[in-house]
Structure 1
Amino acid sequence: MRMAPKDRSSTAAEAGEALAVEGLGFLAADETRLERFLAVTGLGPHNLRRAAADPGFLVSVLDYLASDERLLVAFAETSGRRPEAVMRTLERLRGPSPPAST
């Protein structure tokens, strides 16, 4: 029996989540970067793993990286990607923007 191919949005979401996990690893590899990230998010070592299991948190990791151009460029270089590719992945993970209220 042949299995149905994965939905493209599912694959994109999985790739985005994998990139965010890679971004978290990038932050954790440097004590100063990690301490600042934890201070901004209000997380600590005791609840970071639990938070990392939440897809919404993973979007926030990429948001954090994107909020600082130097950090974004450093992460992109480390991961072998262009900063624009990281930003496109972030936009796909965020999904469509809600309509503006009038």
Structure 2
Amino acid sequence: MTERNSAETVALQALAWLAGNEDLLPVFQGASGAGADDLRTGASDPAFLGSVLDFVMMDDVWVVAFCDASGLSYDAPMRARAALPGGEQVNWT
């Protein structure tokens, strides 16, 4: 499995976790403007999956809850995000 495929798998896990979270899903949908159809089609879009990880990583509590529920290390979302489109670290030097 490539790094990108692995990153997409982590992001899909985050999307599934988010979709199952009755309190947080409406917050994500409100912030992103994504409806139910967008969530389904976005599951195959690496850029959308990156936005899911961006959202989850906005709050350490969400990261811990997602990682604990998914059996992942706490740095997995950050590493996955870096491998998806738009997740590159910008170096200004």
**TM-score class normalised by the smaller sequence:** 0.7 to 0.9
The sequence identity of aligned pairs, in percent, is 36
TM-score normalised by L of structure 1: 0.78
Q: Secondary structure at the match of 1:62?
A: helix
* TM-aligned CA deviation for residue 54 of structure 1: 1.1
* Pair 1:96 & 2:77 matched: no
1:32 corresponds to 2:62: no
What does residue 43 of structure 2 align with?
52
Q: Which consecutive unaligned segments of at least 5 residues does structure 1 have?
A: 1-9
Mapping for residues 52-91 of structure 1, pairs under 5 Å: 52-91=43-82
CA shift in 2, pair 1:73/1:46, >3 Å: same
- TM-score between the two structures when normalised by the length of structure 2: 0.84
Aligned equivalents of 1:90, 1:46: Cα separation in 2: 23
What is the RMSD of the two structures over their aligned residues, measured on CA atoms? Answer: 2.0
Could you tell me which runs of 5 or more consecutive residues in structure 2 were left unpaired when the two chains were aligned.
none
C-alpha distance in structure 2 between counterparts of 1:82 and 1:13, whole Å = 17
Q: Answer with 1 or 2: which has the greater Rg.
A: 1
Q: In structure 2, what residue type is equivalent to 1:50?
A: T
- Aligned residue pairs: how many? 92
